[in-house]
Homo-oligomer: A and B are copies of this chain.
Amino acid sequence: MKNGKAVTIRDVAKAAGVSVATVSSVLNNRSQTRISAETRERVLKVVKELGYRPRKVAQGLRKGLTYLIGLAIPLQPDQPLSPFFYEAVSGALKVAKERGWMVSILGFKDRDEELSILQKAVNQRLVDGVILFDPQENDPRFPVLKGNLPFVVIGRTDDPEICTVDNDNVEAAKLATQHLIRLGHKRIAFVHVPLSYFTAKDRLEGYKQALKEAGLPFRKELLVEADGYYGVEAGYRAMLSLLERLKERPTAVLAMDDTLALGCIQAAAEKGLKVPTDLAVVGFNGSAFSAHCEPPLTTVRIFAETLAYYAVDMLLRLVRGEVVAPSRVTVPTQLIVRKSCGTMR
């Protein structure tokens, strides 16, 4: 087939001396149509000889499918992607491949671009379904997609009709906070992204619950919203502003993400504070680098690959119209204790 015209089902049919319908039936193992063993064998032989494989795009047009699922992922050239999404892509790819689907990255730099890309995906039927990340309250993406394109959200939503895959973020943050409390900390800061994100909301809730159960007061002044969503710089700025603002500084900080935690460590260093002796730090995600920074980061491991695996699995069932009841899957997290949180005070 090198350099030649691509071989089509027609070529196979001609070479095998049967109709294209027969070739198709053999290849798809249609139960409706019984094919004699010898015909089937002849067809299969020719298929193998010619190296024929049905064109996905042609099957797709006929079946109304693109065999493509889209991952709506933030991609800023300057601000490199969080390892979280890397793992997610990897998990998505895994299921997709198993099921004969492909994964396309729907990259965007802000919410507006994301919305326009999703709208385009709907209009041009670019993909069969979409995976969405980081849901917010009144998420503007849902109305664009609802009823038009199947989608699954990684995270929590307030709309019970939407399929989601999420961690128990309340529990995760609670465990992390309890760990710090057990080490003797009483003033624990919390660095978070905007609370309109359910993930931030849930983790704040877990943080509060842990304090409450330990009989510690919740102090609003120990909360900081990172101004740049995620990222080292954002964490750095958040921690710096916190340290400058507070009369009595915190002895520990729980950061919503490893990159934010890294930024906190930098800010602390700049203020002459040593981690973990002067400031205990705990992050979220358990990204690869978290084990290799200085000091190694205590973190709540989020299994992004697993989240994405389940999400795509669910999405593919939606695409096939298999799921009726909206499902919500919960993936466990895991506290990884390293040096940055220190030991008993």
Contacts and interface: CB of A to CB of B under 8 A. Distances in A.
A125 interface: yes
A140 interface: no
A130 interface: no
A55 B122 CA distance: 10
The oligomer's copy count stands at: 2
A93 B107 contact: yes
B56 A125 contact: yes
Interface in A138-174: 146-148
Interface residues of A, number: 56
Contact of A61 (B1, B58, B86, B87): B58
A83 B287 CA distance: 12
B77 A232 contact: no
Given A3-B147, A51-B123, A102-B126, A75 B56 contact: no
Given A2-B147, A77-B305, A148-B1, A56 B124 contact: yes
Interface of A: 1-3, 6, 51-58, 60-61, 66, 68, 75-77, 79-81, 83, 86-87, 89-91, 93-94, 97, 102-105, 107, 120, 123-126, 146-148, 232, 262-263, 266, 287-289, 291-294, 305
In the A-B complex, the 5 residue pairs with the smallest Cβ-Cβ separation, listed nearest first, are: A294-B294, A53-B123, A93-B107, A80-B288, A3-B147
